[in-house]
Amino acid sequence: MKLSILVPVALSAAFLAGGAMAQDASALLKSKNCLACHDAQAKKVGPSFKDSAAKYAGNADAANLLFTKLKTGKGADGKSHAVVAASDDDIKAIIAAVLATK
Ligand code: HEC
């Protein structure tokens, strides 16, 4: 009896936590102004996140390379980027979301 009440509660808590994480990243993309120059699917001032995810697919160093580029404004590929004013954790969460774009 007790268990049948607890299981659905635990499941919906896990579901809510997952939903909150996804929303955090998309809220960050907005609040950190990424969407002024980027769109998930379409090229704007910068490449679409979908294209960047495809470009870095299979690159084990992708998260590090993009972290350095966004944090310092200089990429290992010599291209410069607007310096992103956000905490390291927020930048990492944003990059994970970008690299997961389909
Ligand atoms: C002022 C415009 C501008 C803003 C704001 C901006 N970007 Fe960019 N972004 C660009 C341009 C232009 C490029 C292409 C040059 C390059 O590769 O660095 C780019 C490239 C990128 C790339 C691909 C880099 C690569 O090595 O292929 C990613 C990923 C990216 N931006 C993510 C972000 C994120 C996340 C934010 C917000 C935190 C952001 N950008 C904010 C203009 C912008």
* Three-class SS of the chain: CHHHHHHHHHHHHHHHHHHHHHHHHHHHHHHCCHHHHCCCCCCCCCCCHHHHHHHHCCCCCHHHHHHHHHHHCECCCCCECCCCCCCHHHHHHHHHHHHCCC
pLDDT at 88 over 70: yes
pLDDT of 74 reads: 97
4 Cα–ligand 1 center, Å = 48
pLDDT of 11 reads: 47
Say which amino acid occupies 98.
V
- Residue pLDDT, tens place only, 23-76: 689 999 999 999 999 999 999 999 999 999 999 999 999 999 999 999 999 999
pLDDT of 50 reads: 98
pLDDT at 12 over 50: no
Given ligand 1 and candidates 28, 31, 38, 80, which is best to mutate, with the most ligand atoms within 8 Å of its CB?
A: 38
